[in-house]
Amino acid sequence: MLIQENVPLAPLTTMGVGGPARYFVEATTAAEVREAAQYADSRKLPLFVLGGGSNLIVADRGWPGLVLKVGIGGINHRHGHGTAYFDVGAGEEWDGFVAAAVGHNCAGVECLSGIPGSVGGTPVQNVGAYGQEVAETIESLAALDLNSGEEQEFDNEDCGFAYRTSIFNTSQRGRYVILRVTYALRPGWEPRLAYADLKTYFANWERKPTLGDAREAVRKIRASKSMLITPGEEDCRSAGSFFKNPVLSAEQFEQLRRRAAASNVEIPSYPALDAQKKVSAAWLVEHSGFSKGYGHGAVGISHKHALAIVNHGEATAAGIVAFKDEIERRVEESWGIRLEPEPVFVGF
């Protein structure tokens, strides 16, 4: 296991900002993950676990302890009782796994195509897009318990999945390192085309779309919004959607609806669990004075998607946080709602 010193972290993130890691190691096996965790513990070094770097803002001063990049690979699949089980290493590229699943004609993750990052990060945030989320397909996972040093198995219900959350980023944040995830997919099923953008895309098709068609469509739609990492694309240096769509109680939504009605506008909303309403964060941002393309020098909003804060080349983490704060303040002043960021902030 090679421990490196003063390794730049900005190139390892999709946002492209942040200082160096004082110590850095990439672990390609569960044993190396355990060894790295023991190294940090024995030297009293703060430990940060890095995946694909896609949902991450690293502070300009970097990380003072050990950054552990999980590089465990491997995609193995097996069939049983009409289900295809894929055992996937936490370090595998997420979109590569989706391509493999679709290539085996297995449904359940096709609408999650094009999302950057690694497999190990998907259960942490219950990654979702275009009408699917990983909580629907995760059968189980293995993780290293940093408290005990032992590997532990979790069934789906153990993970506490909710909208963009799990126990791994809430009640047990920082305790576990994901090593492997098992997904239960459906061989031969049709793609899920419930999301509005997908319905529009396939509206005039004369044949039934395949899983491959759905994957291609999602990637094209993401690219049209600069949500697909494309070399040379001016708006692709981002952390994806920067803010979560607020989920409001019936009373909170009624208050928001009245505010909107007073301004002669109607706010887009979608049903959520327990009679709640999910509201479009992009709408709130744009209707608080932040149009697509708005920005301050090296930091701005994507020209194609109001939820993406982008680095135009020389941005700093401090500049991104200041810009985020400006948006949050204005949305709260305009609509009485405090937006919640999606990315993880490291070293602040």
Catalytic residue among 34, 118, 164, 219: 164
pLDDT higher than threshold 90 for residue 296: no
Known catalytic residue at 241: yes
Range(s) within the chain of domains with CATH label 3.90.78.10: 247-346
Portions of the chain given CATH number 3.30.465.10: 75-224
Check residue 307 and give its pLDDT.
93
186-233 residue pLDDT tens? 999 999 999 999 999 999 999 999 999 999 999 999 988 878 887 777
Nearest to 318 by CA among 60, 92, 134: 60
> Cα–Cα distance between 108 and 127 in angstroms, integer?
13
CA gap 298, 235 in Å, rounded: 11
| CATH class label, 75-224 | alpha beta
Residue 236 pLDDT grade (very low, low, confident, very high; cuts 50, 70, 90): confident
Where are the CATH 3.30.43.10 domain residues in the chain? 4-70
Q: For 104-151, where are the alpha helices, taking DSSP H only?
A: 122-125
pLDDT tens, 138-149? 999 999 999 999
Pick the CATH number of 247-346 from 3.40.50.300, 3.90.78.10, 3.40.50.10310, 1.10.760.10: 3.90.78.10
270 versus 345: the higher-pLDDT residue is: 345
Instruction: Indicate the DSSP class of residue 243.
Output: B
The contacts found for 300-307 with CB under 8 angstroms, 24 or more apart, are 302/225, 302/226, 302/235, 302/238, 303/226, 303/234, 303/235, 304/224, 304/225, 304/226, 304/235, 305/225, 305/226, 305/227, 305/235, 305/241, 306/282, 307/241, 307/242, 307/243, 307/281, 307/282
Q: Are the C-beta atoms of 126 and 111 separated by less than 8 Å?
A: no
Q: How far is Cα 279 from Cα 134, in angstroms, rounded to an integer?
A: 21
Distance CA 182, CA 203 (A): 34
288: annotated active-site residue: no
**Is 342 a residue of the active site?**
yes
Residue-wise pLDDT for 313-345, tens only, equals 899 999 999 999 999 999 999 999 999 999 999
What distances in angstroms separate CA 344 from CA 80, 178, 256, one per listed residue?
A: 37, 16, 28
Q: What's the CATH code, domain 4-70?
A: 3.30.43.10
Share of the chain above pLDDT 70, in %: 100
Strand order in the sheet with 247-248: 247-248, 277-279, 269-271
Q: Which of 140, 166, 241, 269 is catalytic?
A: 241
User: Can you say whether residue 205 is alpha, beta or left, with left for phi > 0 and alpha for psi between -120 and 50 degrees?
Assistant: beta
Residue 309 sits at φ, ψ, to 5 deg, of -85, 130
Alpha helices in the chain (DSSP H): 30-42, 94-103, 122-125, 196-201, 211-224, 250-262, 281-286, 317-335
Global pTM? Answer: 0.89
